Amino acid sequence: MKTKFARKEDIDKKWYVIDANNQILGRMATRIAIYLRGKHKPVFTPNVDTGDFIIVINADKIKVTGNKMEDKYYYHHTGYIGSIKSISLKHRMAKEPDKVIIDAVWGMLPKNRLGRAMIKKLKVYRGAGHPHSAQKPEIIEILK
């Protein structure tokens, strides 16, 4: 029996909705990364984008364990000498909670052309609504 390798044309991409209300950030991000990569499918091939589209709603209502709200910092460098900037998770959740989820998932995807294509299939929204109802997304329940 020969091994079947998936091709980009043969992949059936589905749409899924995840409600982030009272979900733990890391556990939810691992589940999202699995669906974006396509590891939940029997036709998973590491060098082909076999993943599905993920819609995350209620991004502003996620939870973290421990003291991460005060202790976790995000750093970025502006490109100028001595210009490293930092922002705590608490302040970032107040300003841009959707970027917190995107960064958590991006840390779990490959850092190459394929990973950049996968992260584009992640749609994150602060509130309970989303504009993708025409795609008829299925709901994914994440256990706590």
For residue 59, what pLDDT is reported?
A: 96
Question: How far out from the chain centre does Cα 144 lie?
Answer: 17
> Is the model's pLDDT at 110 over the cut of 80?
yes
**pLDDT band, residue 10 (cuts 50/70/90):** confident
For residue 1, what pLDDT is reported?
A: 79
- Rounded (10°) CA dihedral 100, 102, 108, 113: -140
> Is the model's pLDDT at 30 over the cut of 70?
yes
pLDDT in tens, 54-78: 999 999 999 999 999 999 999 999 9
Question: How far out from the chain centre does Cα 45 lie?
Answer: 20
Strand order in the sheet with 15-19: 122-124, 53-57, 15-19, 138-140
Superfamily for domain range 14-64+95-140: Ribosomal protein L13 (3.90.1180.10)
> Is the model's pLDDT at 140 over the cut of 80?
yes
Give the start-to-end residue ranges of the domains of the chain.
14-64+95-140
Cβ burial of 114 (10 Å; 0-12, 13-18, 19+) is middle
Backbone angles phi, psi at 105, to 5 degrees: -75, -40
Name the one residue in this structure whose structure tokens are 């960064």: 103
Rounded Cα–Cα distance for residues 7 and 33 (Å): 20
> Is the model's pLDDT at 22 over the cut of 80?
yes
